[in-house]
């Protein structure tokens, strides 16, 4: 499909999603929300896509929600969102738009790399939390500024953020709502690497290419599902149960035979299994909605 507020391209088995409202610092709108949900679904359904990179156009990653509606930006009863809930409803209220994006990313079977090229504030940072790897440019800034606007961190970040950085660090950033730099984000565990601005996208693409070239798409998809879904497991026995099923399933498949053969023959592997056709059905649906329904 064509997009208005993002750009989507695929090259060398890497999908790149670029937030594209550079004149507005890529501020988040309901149009962008819908397009991001669609783009991640498109990438997930395409077996030619092995990895997804998300970045921003211009000098920002995403400056947060578009506040052009003024004081009533978040007031659903006044600004009409209650009458046109594009994202649907949950428990009788409009679903949080950032949350619909975060849950779509969470459900992806492709690894997602955030290349944070500038300010990532509000939903601009919370949308990166379900992404698997976050790289930051030296000039990047971060801010969980919600409490300074009288609202709460959204995009399911109360689940993601403490698991990524720990409760103490999460509460410091959320309770103060202050903006902090890339080095603090690195020290706090929010990002895995800080690189010079002009090296950010090349580094992200280098990492994506390493995944796309050297690994089995099905193995990566299964590993991603297990890593995320086991964060809420009650015991390592649940991980052991699913690991055992995964090893049994993949051990007899073509990609495993190819991976071992390529190693023994000292040549690059040629993995051919389809994520969409051969992803195992014994893994738990993720994210699982309360009540067990999908």
Q: In the predicted model, what is the mean pLDDT of the chain?
A: 93
Residue 92 is predicted with a pLDDT of 83
| 258 and 222 share one domain | yes
* For range 8-18, the mean pLDDT: 97
Residue 268, pLDDT score = 95
Asked if 193 and 235 sit in the same domain, the reply is: no
- Stretch 190-216: mean pLDDT: 98
Average pLDDT over residues 172-190: 98
In this structure, the dihedral spanned by the alpha carbons of residues 229, 39, 133 and 262, taken in order and rounded to 10 degrees, is 80
Domains held by the chain: number? 2
Q: What average pLDDT does this structure show over 157-168?
A: 97
Name which of 204, 65, 191 is nearest 140 in CA terms: 191
What whole-number percentage of the chain has pLDDT above 70? 93
Nearest CA to 201 among 115, 93, 262, 106? 115
DSSP assignments along 149-169, one per residue: GTS---TTHHHHHHHHH-HHH
Mean pLDDT of 234-259: 96
Q: Is the peptide bond before 287 cis (omega within 30 degrees of 0)?
A: yes
Single residue among 154, 183, 211 that ends a domain in this structure: 211
User: Domain containing 36 — which CATH number?
Assistant: 3.90.226.10
The verdict on 160 and 232 lying in the same domain is: no
What's the confidence (pLDDT) of residue 82? 44
Examine the domain organization and report whether 126 and 176 are in the same domain: yes
- Is 283 a domain residue? no
CA–CA separation, 35 and 8 (whole Å): 10
Instruction: Give the predicted TM-score (pTM) of the model.
Output: 0.93
| Secondary structure element (H or E) that encloses residue 76, with its range | helix 76-79
Residue 10 pLDDT: 97
pLDDT of 206 over the 80 cut: yes
Across 126-135, 197-206, 241-250, 282-291, least confident range: 282-291
Q: What is the pLDDT of residues 64-119, one digit of tens each?
A: 987 776 766 676 766 554 445 576 888 888 889 999 999 999 999 999 999 999 99
Are residues 182 and 238 located together in one domain of the fold?
Answer: no
DSSP track, 83-140: T--TT-EETTEEPPHHHHHHHHHHH-SS-EEEEE-S-EETHHHHTTTTSSEEEEETT-
Domain of 220?
216-278
Q: What phi, psi does 22 have (nearest 5°)?
A: -60, -30
Distance CA 76, CA 150 (A): 15
The whole-number pLDDT of residue 117 equals: 98
Residues 82 and 134 both lie in one domain: yes
Confidence class for position 19, pLDDT limits 50, 70, 90:
very high
Residues 146 and 266 in one domain: no
Determine, yes or no, domain membership for 292.
Answer: no
pLDDT of 223 higher than 60: yes
């Amino acid at each position: 499909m064509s997009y208005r507020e993002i750009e989507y391209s695929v090259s060398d088995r890497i999908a790149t999603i670029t937030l594209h409202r550079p004149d507005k610092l890529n501020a988040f709108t309901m149009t962008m929300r819908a397009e991001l949900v669609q783009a991640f679904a498109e990438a997930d359904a395409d077996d030619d896509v092995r990895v997804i990179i998300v970045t921003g156009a211009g000098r920002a990653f995403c400056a947060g929600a578009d506040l052009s509606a003024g004081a009533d930006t978040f007031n659903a009863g006044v600004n009409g969102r209650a009458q046109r809930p594009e994202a649907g409803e949950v428990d009788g209220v409009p679903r949080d738009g950032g949350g619909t994006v975060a849950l779509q990313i969470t459900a992806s079977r492709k690894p997602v790399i955030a290349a944070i090229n500038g300010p990532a504030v509000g939903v601009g940072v919370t949308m990166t939390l379900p992404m698997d790897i976050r790289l930051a440019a030296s000039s990047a800034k971060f801010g969980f500024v919600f409490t300074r606007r009288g609202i709460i961190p959204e995009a399911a970040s109360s689940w993601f953020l403490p698991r990524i950085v720990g409760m103490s660090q999460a509460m410091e950033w959320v309770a103060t709502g202050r903006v902090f730099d890339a080095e603090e984000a690195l020290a706090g565990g929010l990002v895995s690497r800080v690189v010079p601005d002009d090296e950010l996208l090349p580094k992200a693409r280098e990492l994506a290419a390493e995944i796309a070239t050297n690994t089995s798409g099905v193995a990566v998809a299964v590993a991603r599902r297990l890593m995320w879904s086991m964060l809420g497991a009650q015991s390592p026995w649940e991980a052991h149960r699913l690991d055992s099923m995964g090893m049994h399933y993949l051990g007899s498949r073509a990609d495993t035979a190819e991976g071992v053969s390529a190693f023994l023959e000292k040549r690059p592997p040629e993995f051919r299994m389809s994520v969409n056709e051969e992803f195992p059905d014994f893994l738990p649906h993720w994210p699982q909605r309360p009540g067990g329904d999908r």
